[in-house]
Amino acid sequence: MRRGRDVTLRDVAELAGVSSRTVSNVVNGYANVTEHTRARVQQAVDQLGYRPNVLARNLASGRSGQIAVVVPYLDTPYFSELLQGIIRAARVQGYNVLIDQTDGDAEHERMLINHGHSRLLFDGVILSPLGLPQDALADRDPGLPLVILGERVSDGRFDHVGIDDVAASRQATEHLLDLGRTRLAAIGDQPYATGECAQTRTQGFREAHERRGLAVHEELIVRTPRFTRPDGAQAMAQLLDSDDPPDAVFCYNDLLALGAIHTLAARGLRVPEDVAVIGYDDIEDGRYSNPAITTISPDKEMIATTAVERLLLRIGSTTPPPGLELRAPHRLIVRASTAGSGAPAAP
């Protein structure tokens, strides 16, 4: 039995018991295949080690065989972990991935979604916008296959993949309240137009208090320019210097939590005995910090796979499908930063 690059589309079709056309539809991500058939074809692809002839496919279709993934910052662990999943998912489909960092620059993001100048470079874009507000996405090239990550809502012309940020933030806050903490702080609020991510997390923080009939301590909601370790450290120092410091902190990502824990240790305070800390994103650094960080863990693998599947579906469709709101699951992982030494080992 041939394997790898010597395997043809016909070999896969014979093993799966389907037509070559059906195998082509599965490999190219077309929707007109049942899930049962798709699974059978994928099993044959995996068994034979089949890899599509990308060059031939691209010559026939007029495509580049590449997709672009655009994120604000490559030095943010959440994005680097997510990118690994996207690259793996794209590679299975025979696509290469071009990666760009925008630094949150609105003009750079706008350039990348005006596809006319770059049709020979990539066939579609997975974009996590930071600089562009929601309404600016409507100005993109209408022929550009586009999938949006993060806290945006589809306008029906692109897909949006993420988790329920409000529900996840509410769950994180409720965990702190369940511990009996009474003065909860939030680090990471960003009330300006492009701060949707922070705003949804503040909303969840507020909703958790409202559901318990508790007042939010407004003076304990601290704004940060970014979600970095220094931002978290500085915000925690600001809270500790206030007249009535918090006994628990919800940080809007794990980097902010790492910074907050650094300041608490420098001030001689214990985590979680004096101040409980919870983060968000479940990055690897948080699992190995001291103490390990309790966090909201989004299913990054599902986000990556779903984003690639939806983008390739749009690339392969003559009539683009309607935009969908696609939610990946999340879970609360309790570690030592809220549960102390009795917390289970980090998964």
| CATH code of 75's domain | 3.40.50.2300
Does residue 321 lie within any of the structural domains? Answer: no
Shared-domain flag, residues 71 and 213: no
Does residue 49 lie within any of the structural domains? Answer: no
- Identify the domain containing residue 277 by its residue range: 165-298+332-342
Does residue 326 lie within any of the structural domains? Answer: no
Which among 325, 308, 323 is positioned nearest to 124, based on CA atoms? 308
**Six-digit token pair at 313?**
């579906």
Ramachandran quadrant class, 237 (left: phi over 0; alpha: psi -120 to 50; beta: rest):
alpha
Does residue 105 lie within any of the structural domains? Answer: yes
Does residue 56 lie within any of the structural domains? Answer: no
What pLDDT does 39 receive? 86
Ramachandran quadrant class, 268 (left: phi over 0; alpha: psi -120 to 50; beta: rest):
left
Q: In a structure prediction context, what are the per-residue pLDDT tens digits for the chain, which is 347 residues long?
A: 555 457 888 888 898 899 888 887 787 666 567 888 888 888 888 888 887 665 555 555 566 789 999 999 999 999 999 999 999 999 888 899 999 999 888 888 888 887 555 555 888 999 998 888 777 777 777 788 899 998 766 667 789 999 999 999 999 999 999 999 999 999 999 987 667 889 999 999 999 999 999 999 999 999 999 999 999 999 999 999 999 999 999 999 999 999 999 999 999 999 999 999 999 999 999 999 999 999 999 999 999 999 999 999 999 887 878 888 999 999 999 999 999 876 665 56
Cα within 13 Å of Cα(33), Cβ side = 23
Placement of tokens 């240790």 in the chain? 265
Alpha-carbon span 28 to 39, nearest angstrom: 14
Does residue 50 lie within any of the structural domains? Answer: no
Shared-domain flag, residues 285 and 310: no
Shared-domain flag, residues 224 and 336: yes
Shared-domain flag, residues 280 and 220: yes
Domain count, the chain: 3
Shared-domain flag, residues 242 and 202: yes
Alpha-carbon span 247 to 78, nearest angstrom: 27
Shared-domain flag, residues 1 and 72: no
What pLDDT does 154 receive? 66
Shared-domain flag, residues 283 and 237: yes
β-pairing verdict for 146-149 and 125-127: parallel
Alpha-carbon span 193 to 248, nearest angstrom: 28
What pLDDT does 254 receive? 98
Which among 160, 152, 149 is positioned nearest to 135, based on CA atoms? 152
Cross-strand partners of 98: 68
Shared-domain flag, residues 116 and 202: no
Q: Do 221 and 169 form a contact (C-beta atoms < 8 A)?
A: no
What pLDDT does 166 receive? 96
CATH code for the domain of 9: 1.10.260.40
Q: Where are the alpha helices (DSSP H) in 254-335?
A: 254-266, 284-287, 300-315
Does residue 51 lie within any of the structural domains? Answer: no
Does residue 48 lie within any of the structural domains? Answer: no
